[in-house]
Amino acid sequence: MSRARPARRRRVPALDPVTREIIRGALRAAQAHMEAVIERTAMSPFIREKNDYFAGILDARGRVVCGTMVPLFGNLMQIIFEQYAPDTMRPGDLYWYNDCYGSRGGVSHSPDMVFAAPVFHRGRLVAFSQTWGHFWDIGGMRAGSISPDATEIFHEGIIVPAVRIYREGVLNDEAFRIFLRNSRFPEILKGDIRAVLAGCQLGERRLLELFDRFGADTVLAAWALFEQQCRDTIRKTLESRIPDGSYESEDAVDGDGMSDRSFRVRMRLTKEGGRITLDTRASDDQARGPINFIMHPSVPKLIVGIYLLSGHPTILLNDGAQDAIDEVLVRPGSILQPHWPASLGNRAHTLARVQSNVLALLALATGGDVPAPNSVYNIYFLRGFDRARNEFFLCSDGVAVGYGARPFADGLDAIYYVAQKNYPAEFMEMVFPLRLRRYALHQDSGGPGRFRGGAGVIREIELTAEEAIVALRQDNILFPPAGVNGGHAGRPGSCVVNPGRPDERRLAPMSDGNGLRKGDVLRLSTSGGGGWGHPFDRPLERVRRDVVGGFVSVGAAREDYGVVVDESGTIDAAATEALRARPRGPVRMFHRNSYFGPPVAPLQ
C-alpha cells in the first residue's frame, strides 16, 4: 500500500437550497431512467404493456428516499438485512426476494419480486438501487400463479427468501436455474428478470454519478432533508386539518370465493395531544380464500401521506411518511395480519378496503374534504392450449374501474391504477387466441353526485381457441364504492358469459375453473367510483354533456340527477326544476343503498 498523502481537512459543502433542488432533480431523473429501461425491455405483458413494476432509491439503512406514489409497500430491506449484514455486502452484489411472510408484508403477494443493489461510494455503502416487478408466472397451482382457488401461500408459486443472486457481479447460476425451472414460462421470466436487473444496475450507476459530483456528505444531508420535508409537511397538514377526536369506519370485502360471507375491515383513528393511533384490531378474522393482506403499518401511512401531499408536488414521498401515524395496531389472525400459510394472491381486494376506510376516517375528520373511494381493479385469467399455434397460452387481463369523485373534480373514468396500462385490442389479438369485441365505458356506473364518480368499463372478448378456463377476480359488487358528502355510491359490475344467448350465465366474482368454448363471449363490466356532493347540485350542463357522451343514460339523468333531458341533449327546464325542487330528505356523509353517517349541511 502506498502512503496516503497527508490528510487534508475535508470540507463539507454547505447544503444550500440550490444544491438540494439539483439533487432532488437528479434522483427523479435516475428513477425515470431505471423505469424506462425496465419498461422498454421486459417480456411479460404484465411488465411491458401493463407496466406493473416500480423503481426506487433507498438509503443505506433501507429507508425510501425517492419512491413511487402508490400505497403498496412496506419495509423493503429489512428481510435482506436479517440475512446479510450490511458490512458483508460488496459492490456488484444483488439481493432478491418475494417472501411475503418473511418480509412481514414488505411485499404482499408472491409474484412481486424485489431486487436491490447496494451502492458503494469510495468504499462506503451509501444507498440501494431497488426495483420491483410483478412476474408473469412463478409456478403455483395455476398458470399465472394467482387463483381464487388458492388457500395456502404454497399454491401461489415458489417462495424466494432473501438471497444474494449476484456476488460481486457474478450470477449465482444454480439458484437462478432452480427458480426458472419452477415457471411455466421460463423464457418470459428470464427476460423480465434481465430487464429488472438492468434497471437496478442503471440506478446504481446514476447514483454513483450523483455521489461523485456532490460528495457523499452533501448527498446524504440532502436526503435527510427530503425526509424531514416530507415528515413536516404531512404532520403540519394533519395538525391543521384533523381535529382531536376519535373516528370510526367500516367497509367490507364482498367475499373470498370460498365461504358464503363478507369480510369486514374496521378502523378507529384517534388523535389526542398530537398523537395519532390507528386501530384495526376489530377487523374480521382471516379468510380461507386468497384475500388476506399482510398490512405493513406503512400502508395506511402512505395513503394518508399521498392524500396530504396532493397540494405539495415538490415534496418527495419517502420514509418521512412513516410518521404520518404514530401507531398502527393490528391483530394477528385478522384479515389484515393473517397467520402463515394463508394465501395472499388477491390481497388487493382488502387493500382497497383499507384505502376506503382511511378515506372515510379522513372524511369524518375533515367534513368530507376527501375523494370518494373506488373499486379494486378487476382481472380475468384465460388459460388453455392453442392448437393453432401449438402452445400454452395465458392471458391475464387487468380491467379498469371508475375512481371516486373529488371535492374539486369528477372521478377518473376507466382507471386501473397508477402507472399501469391496458392491453390494446390489437395487441390482444396479435398475442392471444381471442377477439376483443367491445371496450366501452360502463354507462351509469359512476356514483351520482355534484361531482360524478368515474365510470367503470365493459370489456367483451370472444374465444377463438377451441377451449379455455377462466379465472375471475372481481369485488365491490355487494359493497360498491360509497358516495361521500351527499354523493351516491358507485354502481357495481358483473361478469356474464354469452349475454343475450340461451346459454347465458353469470360467473361468480371470485371463481376459477370456468370453462369457455370457441365462440363463447365473456362480458366483464366493472364498478364505477363513488360520487361526491348531492347529485341535484350538479350543474345542468355537466349532466347534459354526460348524457350526450353516453356516461349517463336519459333515465339515470332523471332518476339520479333530477334532470329531464333527451338523448340529443335538449333539457326540459320546467320539468327539471320541478324534479330538483323535491325535498331531498336527510343527507348524510356516506351513501350506499341509502345515506348513513353524520348529517351534511346543504350546499350554500
Q: Given the complex with another protein, which of 214 and 536 has the nearer CB atom?
A: 214
Smallest separation, CB 409 to another protein (Å): 5
Q: Given the complex with another protein, which of 36 and 603 has the nearer CB atom?
A: 36
Smallest separation, CB 411 to another protein (Å): 10
Smallest separation, CB 78 to another protein (Å): 26
Is residue 323 classed as helix, strand or coil in its secondary structure? helix
Smallest separation, CB 490 to another protein (Å): 16
Q: Given the complex with another protein, which of 72 and 89 has the nearer CB atom?
A: 72
Q: Given the complex with another protein, which of 43 and 360 has the nearer CB atom?
A: 43
Smallest separation, CB 426 to another protein (Å): 4
Smallest separation, CB 420 to another protein (Å): 6
Q: How far apart, in whole angstroms, are the C-alpha atoms of residue 251 and residue 538? A: 27
Smallest separation, CB 497 to another protein (Å): 17
Smallest separation, CB 39 to another protein (Å): 7
Grid coordinates representing 51 are 407496466
Q: Given the complex with another protein, which of 1 and 18 has the nearer CB atom?
A: 18
Compute the chain's Rg from CA coordinates. Answer: 25
Burial annotation 82-115 (CB, 10 A radius, 16+ → b, else e): eebeeeebeeebbbbbbbbbbbbbbbbbbbbbbb
Smallest separation, CB 158 to another protein (Å): 20
Q: Given the complex with another protein, which of 187 and 244 has the nearer CB atom?
A: 187
Q: Given the complex with another protein, which of 37 and 100 has the nearer CB atom?
A: 37
Q: Given the complex with another protein, which of 20 and 264 has the nearer CB atom?
A: 20
Alpha-carbon distance values, 548 to 28, 442, 527, 553, 565 (Å): 41, 14, 21, 9, 9
Across the strands, what pairs with 459? Answer: 439, 524
Query: β-strand 263-272 against 170-171: which pairing, if any?
Result: unpaired
Q: Given the complex with another protein, which of 81 and 439 has the nearer CB atom?
A: 439
Torsion of CA 230, 236, 242, 244, to 10 degrees: 120
Smallest separation, CB 422 to another protein (Å): 4
Long-range contacts formed by 186-191: CB under 8 A, 24+ apart: 187/43, 188/43, 188/44, 188/136, 188/137, 189/44, 189/135, 189/136, 189/137, 189/138, 191/41, 191/42, 191/43, 191/44
Q: How far apart, in whole angstroms, are the C-alpha atoms of residue 507 and residue 189? A: 30
User: How many CA atoms lie less than 13 Å away from 575 in the CB half-sphere?
Assistant: 11
- Residues ≥6 apart with Cβ < 8 Å to 577: none
Q: Given the complex with another protein, which of 70 and 163 has the nearer CB atom?
A: 70
Q: Given the complex with another protein, which of 441 and 468 has the nearer CB atom?
A: 441
Q: Given the complex with another protein, which of 7 and 18 has the nearer CB atom?
A: 18
246, 275 in Cβ contact below 8 A? Answer: no
Q: Given the complex with another protein, which of 67 and 157 has the nearer CB atom?
A: 67
Q: Given the complex with another protein, which of 103 and 229 has the nearer CB atom?
A: 229
Q: What angle do CA 406, 588, 310 make, to 5 degrees?
A: 20
Smallest separation, CB 550 to another protein (Å): 5
Torsion of CA 177, 181, 186, 190, to 10 degrees: -20
Q: Which burial class, exposed, middle or buried, applies to 396 when counting CB atoms under 10 A from its CB (0-12, 13-18, 19+)?
A: buried
Length reported for the chain = 604
Ranges of H-type helices in 309-401 = 348-366
584, 561 in Cβ contact below 8 A? Answer: no
Other CB atoms within a 10 A radius of the CB of residue 366 amount to 15
383, 398 in Cβ contact below 8 A? Answer: no
CA 479 to the chain's CA centroid: 19
Smallest separation, CB 569 to another protein (Å): 8
Smallest separation, CB 66 to another protein (Å): 11
Among residues 466, 465, 447, the alpha carbon closest in space to that of 455 is found at 447
Smallest separation, CB 10 to another protein (Å): 18
